[in-house]
Amino acid sequence: MDIIIRKVEIGDLEDVSNVELTCFPEAEAATKSSFKNRIETFPDSFFVATLDGKIIGFINGCVTNDTVIHDDLFSDSSLHIQVGDYQSIFGLDVMPNYRNKGIAAKLLSKMIEVSKKEGRKGVILTCKYRLIPYYSKFGFVNKGISDSVHGGVQWYDMILEF
């Protein structure tokens, strides 16, 4: 598979929204308007994976000075700090038919690489319990149960410090 990882463009909005709705339950999924704000506010930390020109996955998140993700970051793009210390990851989505092929790893590696080049102190994310071992393979450390109540799910704070 010839997967291309590239920066998001506003023209990707519909496809990104569709991927999100496929990958996450409605209560956890970001809205189309939220993605529009994210694309306009922090396109430098929003990457899509394409195969034959079709978006099959993406990764995105704002930059913050906090070492954990707070729920208000998901909905308020104005909280993005362009020169902040930590790159957050709001979502790492890969369409079901393309999972277990290394695409998520490519997207995550791209975000880590860009974060290092930008001089960040690290990358933060929240994940479900079952994904802790996956992120640990990339060097993320589990900080325990998150204060996040996003989507009514229990999340765990993870951090990768450079």
Write down the pLDDT at residue 61.
96
What is the reported pLDDT for 140? 98
- Residue 119 sits in which domain range? 3-161
**pLDDT tens-digit readout, 112-130:** 999 999 999 999 999 999 9
User: How many distinct structural domains can be found in the chain?
Assistant: 1
Give the residue-averaged pLDDT of 83-95. Answer: 97
For the chain, the straight-line distance linking the first and the last C-alpha, in angstroms and rounded, comes to: 31
Token pair 């290092």 is found at 116
pLDDT tens readout for residues 6-49: 999 999 999 999 999 999 998 899 999 999 999 999 999 999 99
Q: What is the CATH number of the domain that holds 91?
A: 3.40.630.30
- Tokens 């319990």 correspond to 129
CA angle 30, 133, 35 (to 5 degrees): 15
Q: What is the pLDDT of residue 89?
A: 98
